[in-house]
Amino acid sequence: MTSVTDHTAEPAAEHTIDIHTTAGKLAELHKRRAESLHPVGETAIEKVHAKGKLTARERIYALLDEDSFVELDALARHRSTNFGLENNRPLGDGVVTGYGTIDGRDVCIFSQDATVFGGSLGEVYGEKIVKVQELAVKTGRPLIGINDGAGARIQEGVVSLGLYSRIFRNNILASGVIPQISLIMGAAAGGHVYSPALTDFVVMVDQTSQMFITGPDVIKTVTGEDVTMEELGGGHTHMAKSGTAHYVASGEQDAFDYVRELLSYLPPNNFTDPPRYPAAVPEGPVEENLTDEDLELDTLIPDSPNQPYDMHEVVTRILDEDEFLEIQAGYAQNIIVGFGRIEGRPVGIVANQPTQFAGCLDINASEKAARFVRTCDCFNIPIVMFVDVPGFLPGTDQEYNGIIRRGAKLLYAYGEATVPKITVITRKAYGGAYCVMGSKDMGCDVNLAWPTAQIAVMGASGPWASCTASSSRRRPKTARTSTRCGFSCSRNTRTRWSTRISPLSAGTSTR
């Protein structure tokens, strides 16, 4: 393994190297380490910089704490002899793997290098990722993947597909055991998109990242559709339409900043609690410490039951100052999910948004909230719910696309969650949607109702009056645009995996 400080090592002059001596062997090692930093030469790096991007290594250095990165398998090369590949064996084989720290907390990481075979995955490339995945689980560290690659390395044949499968399997087995975060930094196609989709959070970069199974040329040939790469799989497509991206960053540094903030709410693994930070302790009775902003909660709810209000205003006044990180803000905007802190303790927030479809639950909102609830449950994060829901959104489109089974996912998520759950009913809690949104009889630990709360089978003006009255009243979002994706494991899956391996038990096999 190689420390980040090795990048200053200079290769010894070639004529002095005698690999039959200790000095010669050390000189050869330094030479190879230096070569591994620029496996395909400086010209390729200049082309990356010309596009406004960072190289695979620079991305790791930008994300991790300074001088904390320790590289694994830096000198690995592919073993293929097909199609003349034996004459082109760059060190590292197109992916940089290792571990380091973020804000002093251990993480494992890999970064794909698009300058080596276009970032395509071969046998050794895949083995390096599998190895760092298994290290992350065995040591109980979050895993961060920086993705920038173009699918399988066709010169190596089916073996590439086999390594994809091993990576996917490890993603699945690690789900709910350690946090898994994917950053998409370029065009990811084919098999390169499935691993990010299996992780807990996906971060993309505006106008730089794309994800798709088949590219525009194939779509044009098969279906006749004309579509650009950005329209097909750009960040905003996966933010607003597919729900695959959690956050669309304005640039690479913004993406790294988001990941660092996200990790501050998450524990290293499911055996530990999330980090807690010191919070100011008020002196004297609570009533004497209320601010003008706190008192505004008394007037936020309109007198008219059909008049919308922004639930963000409620959430941010209850959480610690500047402590709300919204997830999936651009997707299913009729429900709000994200992380915050109350007295320094991380909590997950689930809240109906009256400015969008009057806060009605629909297909996308149900799945979005269910995934988030299960993520919080996996990583020991208490859940606080703010309820203002007149019901499920009616319509044939909702029924035909499975509102029954998809709405049931949210029921299941709340029903199986064992973390503390607190529900605050701010206004409407009607019908089946009342049951779904963390009701008392669904096992919520504490239920609170504001004086404006209305709990009923339906509203006085009929079951859907609220939805139709304010579904067209929408306001643009200004919060950070982020989107939840991936699959968090159920308790049963976690139990099965935990019997195989404890993240804190060194040396335990992951197979």
Per-residue pLDDT, averaged over 85-107, amounts to 87
Rounded to an integer, the average pLDDT of 426-440 is 91
Single pTM value for the model: 0.83
Tell me what pLDDT residue 461 has: 67
Nearest CA to 112 among 185, 168, 49? 185
Domains parsed from the chain with CATH numbers: 38-263 (3.90.226.10), 286-319+331-476 (3.90.226.10)
Supply the pLDDT for residue 117.
76
CA distance 140 to 117: 32
pLDDT at 89: 65
Q: Among 36, 30, 33, which Cα is nearest to 12's?
A: 30
How much of the chain, in percent, has pLDDT values that exceed 90?
Answer: 59
Tell me what the mean pLDDT of segment 27-42 comes to: 74
For tokens 């760092």, the residue is 132
Active site residues: 190-191, 432-433
Q: Which of 341-350, 412-421, 440-449, 465-474 has the lowest mean pLDDT?
A: 465-474
How many Å apart are CA 282 and CA 292, to the nearest integer? Answer: 15
Among 116, 108, 213, 242, CA closest to 170? 108
Confidence at 491, pLDDT banded by 50, 70, 90: very low
In the chain, what percentage of residues exceed pLDDT 70? 84
pLDDT at 36: 66
* pLDDT number for residue 270: 97
In whole angstroms, what is the distance from residue 87 CA to residue 489 CA? 44
**pLDDT tens digits along 129-188:** 999 999 999 999 999 999 998 777 777 778 889 999 999 999 999 999 999 999 999 988
pLDDT at position 463 is 52
Which amino acid makes up residue 322? D
pLDDT in tens, 107-124: 999 999 988 877 788 889
211 strand-pairing partners = 188
497 to 157, 165, 412, 502, 506: CA distances (angstroms): 31, 18, 21, 8, 15
Report pLDDT digits (tens) over 434-474.
899 989 899 899 999 999 999 998 876 665 555 655 544 44
- Per-residue model confidence as pLDDT tens digits over 200-244: 999 999 999 999 988 898 999 999 999 999 999 999 999 999 999
Measured distance CA(321)–CA(106) in Å, rounded: 27
The residue-averaged pLDDT of 49-76 equals 92
pLDDT at position 505 over 80: no
* Higher pLDDT, residue 28 or 125: 125
**Structure confidence at residue 18 (pLDDT):** 80
**pLDDT (tens digit, 9 = 90+) per residue, 310-335?**
999 999 999 998 789 999 999 999 99
Q: Reply yes or no on whether the pLDDT at 490 is more than 60.
A: no
* pLDDT computed for residue 478 by the predictor: 40
Q: What local confidence, expressed as pLDDT, does residue 282 receive?
A: 78
Which residue would you say has higher pLDDT here, 412 or 10?
412
With cut-offs at 50, 70 and 90, classify the pLDDT of residue 29. Answer: confident
Q: Please report which confidence band the pLDDT of residue 22 belongs to, taking 50, 70 and 90 as the band edges.
A: confident
Which of the two residues, 359 and 322, has the higher pLDDT score? 359
What's residue 60's pLDDT? 97
Write a three-state SS string for 138-158: HHCCCEEEEECCCCECHHHCH
Is the pLDDT reported for residue 397 higher than 50? Answer: yes
Give the pLDDT band of residue 403 (cuts 50, 70, 90): very high
How far are the Cα atoms of 204, 264, 316, 326, 395 from residue 261, in angstroms, in the given order?
A: 15, 5, 17, 11, 39
